Amino acid sequence: MIGSTAHDGPHLRWPADRFYWAILDASSLSGRPTVRSRRQHERLGYLFESVLPGVTIEEVQAVYQRLPGSAKRVLACGFTRNVLEQEVDQYALTLSPQTLPAFVHERIEPAALNLLTGRFLPTAVRRGQRRLMLSIGLALALCAILAIVGLERRTSAQRRAHDDVLAARTAILEQVLGSAAPGIGADIPGIPGAGAELRLTAERRRLEQTRSHDVAVSELHDSARVLARLLGLWPSDVPAQTESLSISSTSITIRAQVPGMADAQRLADALARFRGWQLHQPQSESRRDHVQVTLRLGRNQEQDR
């Protein structure tokens, strides 16, 4: 294990015979034989200790490298810690064997077996790692702050839009119900604007009920319009004295006095043209100095409104 040392700048390369070597069977270890985790490192240390000649694992700085292939085999490489403390100067960054021992047939880069880890981690590396972690942390903090600022700006914009919507809502309610209308400000507790909205719903319902387009409900037979149309058909050249005139939704009855039968006929002919109404057989009765005529009209199927 003892041999000459070689310097490659801050990267130390020592002869392989100065190191403790072993190939460990890691099949007894649960899980993948990774050598990174602290727990796995300890377990491998116990395996390595069983083959160390007269030293405990606590006295040896060890690194482990998984050997390629399907078998769970791990190459263990160790060095006495006391010697490391004495021989490794403060400027060294790595320490690894120059070569691998002859019994290792797998292709492994010796430089990968760096022993300056853990408590032997060089101060410069440790400082670099801290600086890197600090930079990453600061970068993450900056990203988080920017993200929070962005989120808060969006939230603020959403709140402003919400306020605009509420203002538009109030404006609509004031426009429809009036600014002095109770209910604009008097809301149901816990439900903003519910009072005014209820009033709006009630107003709409009231208007829909009182302005119904349901013909059966709202439309009534307008006798005034019938009378107007009837008088429009009345022949001006017939000297008639109307005794009575009755208009209902289904019938019209006219009793009149005319000078002669021909006048009665002309009156009947004129009113027979009343669209939507059917003239029944006229009744005429000759009196001493006039003719008493009674005309009845019935409403047709094709009703004239």
Partner 1 sequence: MTKLPRAAILGVWVVALGLPLVISANRLAEARSELAAARSSLVRLADSAQRIVDLRGEQERIAEHKRPEQDVIARVSAALAQAGIAAEHFGGLRPESDAALAGTGHTGIAYRRQSVRVSLNDLSITQLGAFLSQWSATQRLWTPTRIELTHARSRQGSDRYDATILITATYLADGERR
Output the smallest distance, CB 63 to partner 1, in A: 17
Listing DSSP states for 77-129 in one string gives EEEEHHHHHHHS-TT--EEEESS--TT--S---GGG-----GGG--HHHHHHH
Q: Least distance to partner 1 from the beta carbon of 49, Å? A: 22
Residue whose CB is less far from partner 1, 50 or 210: 210
99, 135, 241, 303: which one binds partner 1 (CB under 8 A): 241
Closest to 62 in 3D by CA, of 99, 124, 22, 115 = 115
Rounded to whole angstroms, how far apart are CA atoms 154 and 8? 57
Sign of CA dihedral 163, 169, 170, 171: positive
Q: According to the binding rule CB under 8 A, does residue 42 interact with partner 1?
A: no
Q: What are the residues whose beta carbons fall under 8 Å from the beta carbon of 157, sequence distance 6 or more?
A: none
- Which part of the chain contacts partner 1 (CB under 8 A), choosing from 16-24, 53-61, 238-246, 270-278? 238-246
CB of 140 to partner 1, least distance (A): 6
212 is a contact residue toward partner 1 (CB under 8 A): yes
Strand, helix or coil for residue 62: strand
The span of 5-13, 52-60, 245-253, 278-286 binding partner 1 (CB under 8 A) equals 245-253
Q: Does 285 bind partner 1 (CB under 8 A)?
A: no
CA 113 to chain centre: 54
* Contact flag: residue 303 with partner 1 (CB under 8 A): no
| Length of the chain as a residue count | 305
209 near partner 1, judged by CB under 8 A: yes
Please tell me whether residue 244 binds partner 1 under the rule CB under 8 A.
yes
Tokens 């005794």, located at residue: 243
Q: Going edge to edge, which strands form the sheet with 73-80? A: 20-25, 73-80, 60-66
Residue placing its CB nearer to partner 1 in the complex, 7 or 204: 204
> CB of 251: closest distance to partner 1 in angstroms?
10
**Beta carbon of residue 22, minimum distance to partner 1 (angstroms, whole number):** 26
Report the residue number, 6 or 172, with the smaller CB distance to partner 1.
Answer: 172
Q: Give me the least distance between CB of 151 and partner 1, in Å please.
A: 4
Its sign, for the CA torsion 46, 52, 55, 61, is negative
| Dist CA 181 CA 196 (whole Å) | 9
Check binding of 123 to partner 1 (CB under 8 A).
Answer: no
220 forms part of the interface with partner 1 (CB under 8 A): yes
Amino acid at 69: G
For partner 1, what does the binding mask look like between residues 147 and 166, x meaning CB under 8 A? xx--xx-xx--xx-xx--xx
List residues bridging with 130 in a β-sheet: none
Q: Report the DSSP beta bridge partners of residue 257.
A: 241, 292
Among 102, 231, 236, 301, binds partner 1 (CB under 8 A): 231
Question: Least Å distance between CB 153 and partner 1?
Answer: 10
Residue 293 is encoded by which pair of tokens? Answer: 């005529």
Q: What are phi and psi for residue 211, nearest 5 degrees?
A: -125, 40
Q: Which residues bind partner 1 (CB under 8 A)?
A: 38, 130, 137, 140-141, 144, 147-148, 151-152, 154-155, 158-159, 161-162, 165-166, 168-169, 172-173, 175-176, 193, 197, 200-201, 203-204, 206-212, 216-218, 220-225, 227-228, 231, 241-249
